[in-house]
Chains A and B, each alone.
Chain A
Amino acid sequence: MRKQDIILLRPAFWLALSFSCGIAVFSAVRQCPFFLCLSFSLAALAAVLLLRGKNAVWFASAAILCFLLGGVWGRAREMKPADDYSRFLRREEEEVYILRGRLCGEPVFRGSKYFFKLKLCSMEIRGRCFSVSGPAALRATFLPPSEGAQEMAVKCRYSWKGLFILDSRRDLCLLPGKGVNFLSGVLAGKVKLKKLLQYKHTPAGAGIISAMVLGERQGIPFLVKRGMLRTGTLHLLVVSGFNTGLVAFFVILLLKAARVPRKIRLCLACLFVAVYCIVTGISPPVFRAAVMTAFILSAYLVRREADLLNLLGCAALVLLVCDPQTLFSVSFQLSFLSVFAIAVFCPLFRVLSGSAKIKNRVLRGTTEALITCLSAWLGTLPLILCYFRLFSWAALPANLLAVPLASLITICGFCQIISVPFLPRLGGYFAFVSDTLVAGLVFLVSFFEHIPGSWVKL
């Protein structure tokens, strides 16, 4: 296959890459004039026109357009200095602010206080209301109601370095959602799902399984989280493609048993994946996985084969069009880079290791798993070194053993959610199996964490 064909067969991937480059370049070079970029782009296009064929010209035009669109869109969605709430702030003890916004992320417990972020939409100060944007960090002595709460208004004081202090629970007021009743309903459903999931679980087991199935990471013991970070297995607590695939699989299986036609089955599976994405908080990894699953199901519907890099490109394009600033979030970069590394390195390592020629099924499976772990580890290594300043060689063997365990825990979690409302006893059995597996996972992580030199903090 010629190089040109490889590019043309994966248009979504290359267009997503151009779009991302546009966002990054326009954001990094603050004084980058649009017309300068446009003239560079036209020059590049002319070069392609002279050197390559007709298809390449069309593709180069689309890529350049995506680059410029990415840049302009990224700039347009940046927080404008005029809207930044910090210009309204005064560091005076008696000054009271009323902030209105949506809760973003999970509240974090640190030093006997809870910290959380509000994505602000307005701020009231001295009786005047201003329209503002950007996240504000808040500190409270109580756990804010994160579930089902779409919007809230808080009466608080400004401390320092952008931190607001919320004194009592009375100063917090939940506001009715504006046209987001569907979302509120979905988030209220999440609370019920969490209760179903925690049925008959031990506290540590409930915390870990809630993270794996619903993306709720509040209940994970600190030492487990730290151990997983040090052994490179923290990604197991993130809701990802495996979860969305399981949702689609269970929906299709149940509908198939009920003899529902194929097209309706696949459409309903897509719908359930979308709802699951909202329930788990629409974080970049979940969004990526949900978009990829939806595209795979669509490909299955029209009986076409899906290409991993193309799917990844589609997911990135959708996510970046919705919010270009996500490009700079660590979870986005880790999630996309790991899948990209798996798509690129796996075929290479397969050829090098000759795994296809191995006749023993167990050995072949183990080699395949090792190749996948190695690819993802290599792909994410630069980011982990850069952001976490951590090098862990134990990540490879730990992942090789922990991934099957985590997959089983997630499967048990989903089975428990389905079975508890109808057959609680059955749900109890699944809870027991998953608790045992969680114990195994924690011991495994602890074992690798305590091997001398298994991880190095740089």
Chain B
Amino acid sequence: MMLYFTPEEKRALIFLCCVLLAGSAAEAARKHFRRSRPVPGVYYRLGRLDLNLVDRKELCSLPGIGDKLAERICALRAERGRFGSIEELREVEGIGEAKFKRVKEFFYLKGRD
């Protein structure tokens, strides 16, 4: 059947097989080395900012966080040294349940994902 395909099509099929092989090998390796963590932290952190490192300017650029709220978040972080969990954001004045649900998507905490 392979002989029926053009050289370009054969190349594309071989390429897909390579991708598949690489995928299966990588997943086997992942399962072997990380049995306890099905979702590695690197994926969790995609498109998020470290809450303990993010600066005020960066906070202000996020939707739903204004200048004052960013200041309060930074003040609370400075007071505590660092945030222990994302849930601690609820304690910031101006972050209610609805806002927390929204803003928590922007952050992660290193070592706690």
Interface contact B105-A221, CB-CB below 8 Å: yes
Pick the contact of A204: B13, B27, B43 (CB < 8 A).
B43
Find out whether the CB atom of B47 lies under 8 angstroms from the CB atom of A442: yes
C-alpha gap A2/B84 in the complex (Å): 73
Q: Which residue of B lies closest to A437 (CB)?
A: B19
A430 contacts chain B at the CB level, 8 A cutoff: yes
How does the 8 Å CB contact mask read for B81-113 relative to A, with 1 for contact and 0 for none? 000000000000000001101100110000000
A448 and B38 CA atoms in complex are apart in Å by 29
User: What string of 1s and 0s marks CB contacts (under 8 Å) between B1-35 and chain A?
Assistant: 10011000100110010011011101100100000
Interface of A is mostly: helix
| Chain B residue with Cβ nearest A226 | B61
Is there a chain B Cβ closer than 8 Å to A281's Cβ? no
Contacts of A408 on B, CB cut-off 8 Å? 19
Do B23 and A433 touch (CB < 8 A)?
yes
Q: Which A398-437 residues have a C-beta within 8 angstroms of B?
A: 408, 411-412, 415, 426, 428-430, 432-433, 435-436
B101 — which chain A residues lie within 8 A by C-beta? Answer: 112
Interface residues of A in 201-251 (CB under 8 A from B): 202, 204-205, 220-224, 226-227, 249
CB-based contact A223/B106 at 8 Å: yes
Contact A433 B63 (CB under 8 A): no
Using a CB-CB cutoff of 8 Å, which residues 100-155 of chain A contact chain B? 110-112
Residue of B nearest to A425 (CB): B24
Within 8 A of B (CB), among A275-299: none
Given that A112-B98, A112-B102, A222-B63 are known contacts, is A436 also in contact with B47, CB under 8 Å in the complex? Answer: no
- Distance (Å) between the CB of B26 and the closest chain A CB? 6
B49 cross-chain contacts in A, Cβ below 8 A: 223
Chain B contact patch, size range: 20 to 34
CA A438 – CA B20 in complex, angstroms?
Answer: 16
Q: How far is the CA of A442 from the CA of B26 in the complex (A)?
A: 19
Least CB distance from A423 to B in Å reads 10
Is A330 an interface residue, CB under 8 A from the partner? Answer: no
Across the two chains, which residue of chain B brings its CB closest to A257?
Answer: B1
Contact check, B9 vs A429: say whether CB atoms are below 8 A apart. Answer: no
Asked if A46 is at the interface of the complex by the 8 Å CB criterion, the answer is no
Q: Is A256 an interface residue (CB 8 A)?
A: yes
A439 on the B face (CB < 8 A): yes
Chain A, Cβ-Cβ closest to B16: A415
Interface pair A204/B47, CB less than 8 Å apart: yes
Query: Which of B27, B98, B105 is A222 in contact with, Cβ under 8 Å?
Result: B105
Residues of B within 8 A of A356 (CB): none
Which B residues touch A426, using CB under 8 A?
20
- Residues 42-54 of chain B, each 1 if its beta carbon lies under 8 Å from chain A, else 0: 1110111100000
Chain B residues with CB below 8 A from A112, complex form:
64, 98-99, 101-102
A438-B16 Cα distance, complex, nearest whole Å: 17
Question: B27 contacts which of A111, A202, A429, A438 (Cβ < 8 Å)?
Answer: A429
Assess the B42–A439 pair: CB atoms within 8 A. yes
Given contacts A426-B20, A433-B19, contact A110 B9 (CB under 8 A): no
Q: How far is the CA of A333 from the CA of B44 in the complex (A)?
A: 36
Least CB distance, B42 to chain A, in whole angstroms: 6
When distances are taken between beta carbons in the complex, the residues of chain A under 8 Å from B75 are none
User: Residue-by-residue, is A354-373 near B (CB-CB < 8 Å gives 1, otherwise 0)?
Assistant: 00000000000000000000
Complex Cα gap A144–B13 (Å)? 41
* Bound CA span A321–B48, Å: 43
Interface presence of B78 (CB below 8 A): no
> Which residues of A in the span 184-207 have a Cβ within 8 Å of any Cβ on B?
202, 204-205
Docked complex Cα distance between A408 and B105 (Å) = 27
Complex partner residue of B23 from A223, A259, A432, A438, CB under 8 angstroms: A432
Whether A429 touches B20, Cβ cut-off 8 Å, given contacts A204-B43, A439-B46, is yes
Question: B48 contacts A205, CB within 8 Å?
Answer: no
User: Is A264 an interface position by the 8 A CB rule?
Assistant: no
Is residue A173 contacting chain B, with contact meaning CB distance below 8 A? no
- Distance in Å: Cβ of B108 to nearest Cβ of chain A: 11
* B43 pairs with A435, CB closer than 8 A: yes
Q: In the complex, which residues of chain B have a beta carbon less than 8 angstroms from the beta carbon of A89? A: none
Q: Distance (Å) between the CB of A410 and the closest chain B CB? A: 12
A430 touching B19 by the CB < 8 A rule? yes
Q: A112-B98, A408-B19 are in contact. List 11 more A-B contacts (CB 8 A).
A: A204-B47, A205-B43, A221-B47, A221-B105, A223-B49, A223-B62, A412-B19, A415-B20, A429-B23, A433-B20, A439-B46
Which residues from chain A sit less than 8 Å from chain B, CB to CB?
Answer: 110-112, 202, 204-205, 220-224, 226-227, 249, 253, 256-257, 259, 408, 411-412, 415, 426, 428-430, 432-433, 435-436, 438-439, 442
Q: Name 10 interchain pairs, CB-CB below 8 A, sorted by A.
A: A204-B47, A205-B43, A221-B105, A222-B106, A253-B12, A426-B20, A432-B30, A433-B26, A435-B43, A442-B46
